[in-house]
Amino acid sequence: GAGVSQSPRYKVAKRGQDVALRCDPISGHVSLFWYQQALGQGPEFLTYFQNEAQLDKSGLPSDRFFAERPEGSVSTLKIQRTQQEDSAVYLCASTRTGNTGELFFGEGSRLTVL
Amino acid sequence: GENVEQHPSTLSVQEGDSAVIKCTYSDSASNYFPWYKQELGKRPQLIIDIRSNVGEKKDQRIAVTLNKTAKHFSLHITETQPEDSAVYFCAAGGTASKLTFGTGTRLQVTL
């Protein structure tokens, strides 16, 4: 596709519900990142994939957060038993190579947990 | 891990004036320093970046300087325009690794 696509754009969940957020990176991009952006803050790293391999998940805040990229393309970020503090915009970004370079961000998925 | 601090958190300038945003980082292994612009409700977009083998880079009205010894880098915007109003984020990272972002600077360019 022309850019990184994320869905849903907006998600409202009741506390305790599970949610799944999808990211479709730019075709051919090797690396994929998930970031969490709280209101008025900078993006905070969650996890990083190179192709299908999850190379770094050090930013996932708890074991309720899980990400996968089984075929090295589309990725899903799953949050189980959502809590109010999970409310944020979840940004997905991809890069062409495995080396540091320009991150192409999606529009984000805004999660509100009531 | 890397820690990036960014100042100021808000900046108001008159149209035509210059704006400067400063960042410091902690990890001497970081060698890539991009700046992203995020308009309200939009995705962050890269506006300029610098790697540690250069000290300064310029692109039209935007320039970035890097001081590796002091571990700080700055964004300079000259001849500011209303469309420059946005939140700007600095970031730091190493080869093939994640970027750590600053907390952002909200720039307001007034007429």
Say whether A100 and B44 touch across the interface (CB within 8 A).
Answer: no
Q: What is the pLDDT of residues B52-64, one digit of tens each?
A: 878 999 999 999 9
Answer whether residue A31 shows pLDDT above 70: yes
Instruction: Name the band, by pLDDT with cuts 50, 70 and 90, for residue B103.
Output: very high
Give A106→chain B minimum CA distance, Å. Answer: 6
Residues on chain A touching B49 (C-beta within 8 angstroms)? 102
Q: Which DSSP category does A40 fall into?
A: T
Q: Within 13 A of B22's CA, how many CA atoms are on the CB side? A: 7
> In Å, what is the CA distance from A29 to each residue of A52, A98, A102, B43, B94?
12, 9, 11, 18, 19
- Decide if B107 touches A, using CB distance below 8 A: no
* pLDDT at res. B1: 85
Give A98→chain B minimum CA distance, Å. Answer: 6
Please state the rounded mean pLDDT for residues B10-38: 96
Q: What is the pLDDT of residues B57-102, one digit of tens each?
A: 999 999 999 999 999 999 999 999 999 999 999 999 986 578 999 9
Q: How many CB atoms lie within 10 A of CB A35?
A: 25
Please state the rounded mean pLDDT for residues B15-40: 95
Residues on chain A touching B44 (C-beta within 8 angstroms)? 43, 91, 103, 105
Q: How many CB atoms lie within 10 A of CB B4?
A: 24
